[in-house]
Amino acid sequence: MPDQTLPKTYNFKATEERIYKWWLNNGYFKPVNDPNNADFDPEVKPFVISIPPPNVTGELHLGHAMFVAMEDLMIRYHRMKGVPTLWVPGSDHAGIATQLQVEKSLAKEGLTREEIGREEFLKRTWAWKEKYGGIITDQVKRLGASCDWDRERFTLDEGLSIAVREAFVRLYQKGLIYRGPRLINWSPGLKTAVSDLEVEYAEEPGKLYYFKYRFVDSEEEFIPVATTRPETILGDTAVAVHPEDDRYKGYIGRKVLVPVLDRQIPVIGDDYVDLEFGTGALKITPGHDPNDYDIGQRHGLQVISVLDESARINAYGGPYAGQDRFEAREILWQDMQKAGLVIKEEPYTLKVPRSQRGGEIIEPMVSTQWFVKIQPLAEAALAAVKDDKIQIVPERFTKVYYNWLENIQDWCISRQLWWGHRIPVWYCAECDQMTISRQDPTACAHCGSKNIHQDPDVLDTWFSSGLWPFSTLGWPESTPDYEYFYPTTMMETGYDILFFWVARMIMFGLEFTGDIPFDTVYLHGLIRDGNGRKMSKTYGNVIDPLEVMNDFGTDALRFTLLVGSTPGNDMNLSIERVEANRNFANKIWNAGRFVISNINISPVKPLAEPDWTLADSWIWARLQSLIKDVERLFQNYQYGEAGRQIYDFFWSEFADWYLEVAKLQLAEGGDRAFYTIQTLSRVLDLCLRLLHPFTPFVTEELWGHLKLASQDHSDHLTPPGGWPEALILAQWPESRSEEGWETEKVAHFNIIREVVRAIRNIRAEKNVQPGRRIPATLVSADYSEILMEQSTSLSALAHLDHNQLTILDSIQKKPAGNIALVVGPVEIYLPLMGLIDVDEERSRLEKDLSDTNAQIERLEQLLASPFTDKAPQAVVQKERDKLRDYEDTAKRLKKQLEDFG
Ligand SMILES: [Zn+2]
């Protein structure tokens, strides 16, 4: 429940937690149309998002804050539109990350996981998960996430484990999973295979080493070759040259000697070789380089792995066996120098593969692992996007997606870890066959022997998260949730995990459910610091979202993230911006407080039909046009721009202008006051609805006060459809078509605003005391009537002396000793000449004229450009109207300059 009294200032600390609990306890986060309830209607299409599951032992960072804010916005918007919404929360067991945490804490006790054994280690890891797993969940809640927490899932929970088993067994039975030796990324420190996607390439200084590959049959002849990793020479199985390279093509088919080891290897021809790079000849190490591995496969070359699990040289390295790879690099190179095989060394910038976890250098190695045969899955995933079954926003990422799937390699799914889904394969000691099973078997499926043991490895974390959109809804069971909520609607995530995760969910969704897992993929950008630099601990520029929420409130953080983002583009985030948006939350509060505190001092009901003022009509028309624009922007995923427009309307039009005029109108009392408060409360209500998905807390709290005050005071303040229970459930403002009067009213009020603004500016420029009321003469052929009608507002807003305000259709000679201003069709004369310098005044008019001419030129260029054909008619017309106004202004300014003589 909102607080009963209306505090003077907005206190987010006293509000956020209370409001969140209130939403949660009232079940507002649950889908209104629930397939598990009796009144369920299967015909209504729901809006469903599966949350990108954060690592269970992770801590909230800005990346989380971004997706939570964005998804919560989408969910709240659809919920307010009356669409049944479901946002499924959960967390990921995060194999390596979590296991490392637990190993670290073991190390503090002087223990290793091997010492305590698998069972005890898993027990401890579960305990760790119980203890720390809730932290990230609480942090997600703090951001205001309106997830259905009763449907929260964890990738290692029972249902999801069944799903993983099912997926593995199905792929295996279809021949899409196999075990075998292949080149993979090996983490020597963690002693496990790691995903291609968990390897980051860092540019680091290194060397390019040039040396000789001598021919077997001629001591004098050699092929010059260059490498960045000399120790891999020990595993070379060929030297490749380009078949059309005149320098070397004659050597193809001859044999050369591996330095020091003197192993004989062939010279082969392959188009892959780049004639320009290094010496134009390439040493081929299929056991330790992915490109060489492919070349090796094409030519049937032997694959020699010279490293052991810790990346020390193994027996294949002859005299170097037992040495660390970097030590062997030095010693081998010295030995080659002694043997006269070295040509030269030169500095070279390397792309060093480093582990995302811990940063150690990753070694490409051949290892026996489990793989998914990805080709057939990738083809289906490509087709789903090509056939427009899935839309990727922004569209330019579609190409990236195609490119990745077209070049995809088989996916290594086994990891030499303990924390995760254990591979459901049992090996038989009697007959050597494998038993692959949904349930743990007690005997070999082939010979019945009880002497079987399960594969010790676990599955890549992304295997289970690839099933996320449907495993969380009950698949492989055909549960009511799965039947109704699947396929889901929206997959919203950072573009950096388009491949990691999104592509895999699409592949698995199509394979296992026969359906796309979601219709739309929305990709947001990464968050950089205020200067556009990547946030990193090294730069010390990391912004902690929890600190930001403590200092400025959740709404300020959310609004900054949402308004700063455009689909697929990185955004810069600075504390100053969050602070400015905290001020916006306060502005909302203060404006709202003004409205609410005036409700009970206005009449309870009107005596006559409404007689709307120009300001009433203007603010209403502007609000309607805002609602229409926001709707269009939301439909096009331009959430940030929508937020900016709501902000501008609320601050610069509603609070700065309408509220000022409303004060005068309220002071009139009677029907005028009644209709003013009705307008104020309607506009505030609708603004709070529009802002709710962006800044849910301050809007809910304030709206609660608005509702209470209105209900207490008058039925006439009830919005159409009545007061809903809570803002979170309130109907989203519907855009309606114009009634015909709007354009004119908006134009007229804009003239008033321009006149007031011009007078305020000149007063400030001339240092006229703020309270001093000054006389004025306004001249306009077309608008004198409007000016007359608005003279009270004009006088109040511009601090004019109402008794000395003259409004005329035309004027023969400008009043002596007056400063002249031109605002579109209105000439303004202010008797401030005594205060000013004539030359200064002339140069001011000249400057105004040159500014106006610059605007004219800009608009002429714009209207002569393709913009005129491409932009909507109404937008073009608006620019044309602006041009006409500027031309008008220029004419008047010229005339005034002439008057100066
Ligand atoms: Zn057997």
Q: Closest by alpha carbon to 198, among 356, 384, 21?
A: 356
pLDDT at 43 > cutoff 80: yes
Distance 661 CA to ligand 1 centre (A): 89
Cβ-based burial of 364 (10 A; exposed 0-12, middle 13-18, buried ≥19): buried
Check residue 835 and give its pLDDT: 65
Q: What is the SS3 assignment for 407?
A: coil
Q: What is the SS3 assignment for 523?
A: strand
Residue 735: which pLDDT band, with cuts at 50, 70 and 90? Answer: confident
Average pLDDT (843-848) is: 87
Distance 178 CA to ligand 1 centre (A): 19
Averaged confidence pLDDT in the chain: 92
pLDDT at 566 > cutoff 90: no
Q: Closest by alpha carbon to 241, among 282, 300, 299?
A: 282
Average pLDDT (856-873) is: 88
Q: Beta strands 238-241 and 264-269: pairing type?
A: parallel
The one-letter amino acid code at 607 reads L
Q: Which of 47-61, 132-146, 408-422, 822-836 has the lowest mean pLDDT?
A: 822-836
Other Cβ atoms closer than 10 A to 112:
11
Distance 441 CA to ligand 1 centre (A): 12
Distance 429 CA to ligand 1 centre (A): 7
Tens digit of each residue's pLDDT (9 = 90 or more) over 572-615? 888 999 999 999 999 999 999 999 999 998 999 999 999 999 99
Distance 174 CA to ligand 1 centre (A): 22
Which tokens in the block code for residue 421? 């889904």
Residue 1: which pLDDT band, with cuts at 50, 70 and 90? Answer: very low
Contact call for residues 368 and 176 (beta carbons, < 8 A) = no
The one-letter amino acid code at 71 reads E
Rounded to whole angstroms, how far apart are CA atoms 256 and 244? 20
Tens digit of each residue's pLDDT (9 = 90 or more) over 499-550? 778 999 999 999 999 999 999 999 999 889 888 888 877 777 888 999 999 9
Contact call for residues 605 and 714 (beta carbons, < 8 A) = yes
Distance 847 CA to ligand 1 centre (A): 94
Average pLDDT (435-462) is: 94
Residue 299: which pLDDT band, with cuts at 50, 70 and 90? Answer: very high
Task: Give residues with Cβ within 8 angstroms of 189, minimum separation 6.
Answer: 355, 358, 360
Distance 175 CA to ligand 1 centre (A): 20
Distance 416 CA to ligand 1 centre (A): 24
Check residue 809 and give its pLDDT: 92
Tally of helices (H runs) and strands (E runs) in the chain? 27, 29
Distance 30 CA to ligand 1 centre (A): 50
pLDDT at 173 > cutoff 50: yes
Distance 880 CA to ligand 1 centre (A): 84
Distance 443 CA to ligand 1 centre (A): 8
Distance 453 CA to ligand 1 centre (A): 11
Rounded to whole angstroms, how far apart are CA atoms 249 and 272? 14
Please report, rounded to a whole number, the percentage of residues in the chain having pLDDT higher than 90. Answer: 71
Tens digit of each residue's pLDDT (9 = 90 or more) over 104-133? 889 899 998 889 999 999 999 999 888 888
- The beta-strand segments (E) located in 103-152 are none
Tens digit of each residue's pLDDT (9 = 90 or more) over 317-328? 989 999 999 999
Secondary structure, 3-state, 236-300? CCEEEECCCCCCCHHHCCCEEECCCCCCEEEEEECCCCCCCCCCCEEEECCCCCHHHHHHHHHHC
Q: Closest by alpha carbon to 265, among 230, 291, 298, 240?
A: 240
Distance 419 CA to ligand 1 centre (A): 28
Check residue 900 and give its pLDDT: 65
Distance 431 CA to ligand 1 centre (A): 4
Distance 450 CA to ligand 1 centre (A): 8
Cβ-based burial of 362 (10 A; exposed 0-12, middle 13-18, buried ≥19): buried
Contact call for residues 108 and 134 (beta carbons, < 8 A) = no
Which tokens in the block code for residue 891? 């004419």
Check residue 836 and give its pLDDT: 64
Check residue 650 and give its pLDDT: 97
Distance 428 CA to ligand 1 centre (A): 5
Which tokens in the block code for residue 388? 């427009």
pLDDT at 2 > cutoff 50: no
Q: What share of the chain is helix, strand, coil (3-state, %, to 5)?
A: 50, 20, 35
Distance 433 CA to ligand 1 centre (A): 6
Distance 454 CA to ligand 1 centre (A): 13
Distance 422 CA to ligand 1 centre (A): 20
Distance 418 CA to ligand 1 centre (A): 25
Distance 425 CA to ligand 1 centre (A): 13
pLDDT at 186 > cutoff 50: yes
pLDDT at 552 > cutoff 50: yes
Please report, rounded to a whole number, the percentage of residues in the chain having pLDDT higher than 70. Answer: 99
Q: Closest by alpha carbon to 794, among 734, 830, 753?
A: 753
